[in-house]
Amino acid sequence: MTAAKEPSVSVLLDPNWAAGSLVEDVRRGLSQHPRTLPPKWLYDNRGSELFDEITRLPEYYPFNAEHAILTEHADEIVTASGATTLVELGSGTSEKTRLLLDAFVSSGQLTRFAPVDVSEQTLRDAADQIAHRYPGLEVAAVVGDFTLHLAHLPKGGRRMVAFLGGTIGNLYLEERRAFLGALADLLEPGDSLLLGTDLVKSADRLIAAYNDGAGVTDEFIRNSLVVLNRELGADFDPGAFSYIPFWDPHMERMDMRLRSEAPQRVTISGADMVLDLSVGEEIRVEISTKFRVSKIASELEQAGFGVTRVWTDPDNEFALTLATKP
Ligand code: SAH
Ligand code: AVI
């Protein structure tokens, strides 16, 4: 038996990253209307644990739908990609990715796996587990931000970049354009992107997925205020807000907000900000855009990718698109 190699971990986020970049995000986002926070700040250790719990909720169908596609089609995806390196952006626990890794290992073509995430402890734990499960595979984890650090991704060999879970839907249109364009620019001809996207469906099904009966999603979204209190010395009272998830049919996205239940003054000392929130005022913490297959293809093509193949689950809830750099 081959002995497992320890994973390497490169840390691209500087130790003050949270404080520095969070200050800018908070100043910009909380001065807008609606007031907005970028969703990457949801994933401190507690946030990553809560997301993991969300994936096991009966209402949260995207995880199971994408899992079903990978169970059925991982072999075809692996063959179509021809990849020798798998890069995974926003990898979290890489749980579903194991279906791809199993198929890659059976094909004998993969030599390297590079998971990338801002959530350092979750990434380190996942990299350790994967290195032990797949001895012989080089695991090169990167603690980094996929909106900032794409240029530092591992080079060489044929690469497939997996961006699963529908996380691209958490970016605004302009951010998606910038992200997909930057990714297409740095990939080599023949490299590919495997993109997971949640599809437009009935508002009832969507709202249930983001308003679960156990209140886990509420706690996940509310945890953003706990992060601001800890990282920036803010004095948000998370209990003074209610969680408001709604479907925006015009933008075709879920919109997850926290609504102030009383007039309140919040001081964010680390950002030199004082917020006077009136009753009913909302902070948008996350969006989750849902796609139609035609929209995915046009965004990918505009960025410079060619769509190779699209797979959906039997209920047409979720799509996985393999797009190639020509
Ligand atoms: N891919 C997994 C996890 C999705 S949750 C799945 O499909 O289940 C979203 C993940 O993206 C989290 O682990 C979060 O820490 C990470 N993430 C969010 N914004 C990020 C960013 N800007 N750069 C890198 N990782 C990010
Ligand atoms: C990570 N991302 C795709 C999840 C989503 O469905 O938009 C995050 C999430 N937010 C609330 N529930 C899950």
The ligand that comes nearest to the alpha carbon of residue 243 is 2
Read off the tokens for 301: 């093509």
25 in a domain, yes or no? no
Is the overall model pTM greater than 0.85, yes or no? Answer: yes
pLDDT score at 14: 78
For the Cβ of 51 lying below 6 angstroms from any atom of ligand 1, the answer is yes
Whether 1 has a pLDDT exceeding 60, the answer reads: no
234 in a domain, yes or no? yes
**Domain total for the chain?**
2
pLDDT score at 22: 87
Average pLDDT estimate for 206-219: 98
Q: Do 234 and 296 fall into the same domain?
A: no
3-state secondary structure of 135: coil
Cα(149)–Cα(153) distance, integer angstroms: 7
26 in a domain, yes or no? no
User: pLDDT averaged over the chain?
Assistant: 95
For residue 63, the CA-to-ligand 2 centroid distance in Å is 10
Question: What is the best residue among 10, 25, 43, 161 to mutate for testing ligand 1's pocket, by most ligand atoms within 8 Å of CB?
Answer: 43
Question: What is the best residue among 288, 290, 317, 318 to mutate for testing ligand 2's pocket, by most ligand atoms within 8 Å of CB?
Answer: 288
Q: Do 162 and 87 fall into the same domain?
A: yes
> At CA 57, angle to CA 222 and CA 72, rounded to 5?
130
For the Cβ of 197 lying below 6 angstroms from any atom of ligand 2, the answer is no
Question: What is the best residue among 100, 113, 118, 145 to mutate for testing ligand 1's pocket, by most ligand atoms within 8 Å of CB?
Answer: 118
Sequence-distant (≥ 6) Cβ neighbours of residue 294 within 8 angstroms: none
Q: Do 157 and 296 fall into the same domain?
A: yes
For the Cβ of 169 lying below 6 angstroms from any atom of ligand 1, the answer is no
Q: Do 191 and 255 fall into the same domain?
A: no
Q: Which of 142, 168, 137 is nearest to 155 (CA)?
A: 142
- Strand order of the sheet with strand 35-36? 35-36, 282-289, 253-260, 241-248
pLDDT in tens, 214-227: 999 999 999 999 99
First to last CA, the chain: 39
The conformation of residue 6, written as its DSSP 8-state character, comes to P
The ligand that comes nearest to the alpha carbon of residue 147 is 1
Over pLDDT 90: what percentage of the chain?
Answer: 93
Counting from 1 in the atom list of ligand 2, the atom nearest the Cα of 286 is 10
The ligand that comes nearest to the alpha carbon of residue 17 is 1
Q: Do 104 and 116 fall into the same domain?
A: yes
For residue 63, the CA-to-ligand 1 centroid distance in Å is 13
pLDDT in tens, 145-187: 999 999 999 999 999 999 999 999 999 999 999 999 999 999 9
Residue with CA nearest ligand 2 atom 1:
167
Question: Domain holding 195: CATH number?
Answer: 3.40.50.150
Is residue 10 within 8 A of residue 123, CB to CB? The reply is no
Q: How confident is the model at residue 46 (pLDDT cuts 50, 70, 90)?
A: very high
227 in a domain, yes or no? yes
Whether 196 has a pLDDT exceeding 60, the answer reads: yes
The reply to whether omega before 34 is within 30° of 0 (cis) is yes
2 in a domain, yes or no? no
Per the structure, the complete domain to which residue 107 belongs is given by 8-12+60-200+291-324
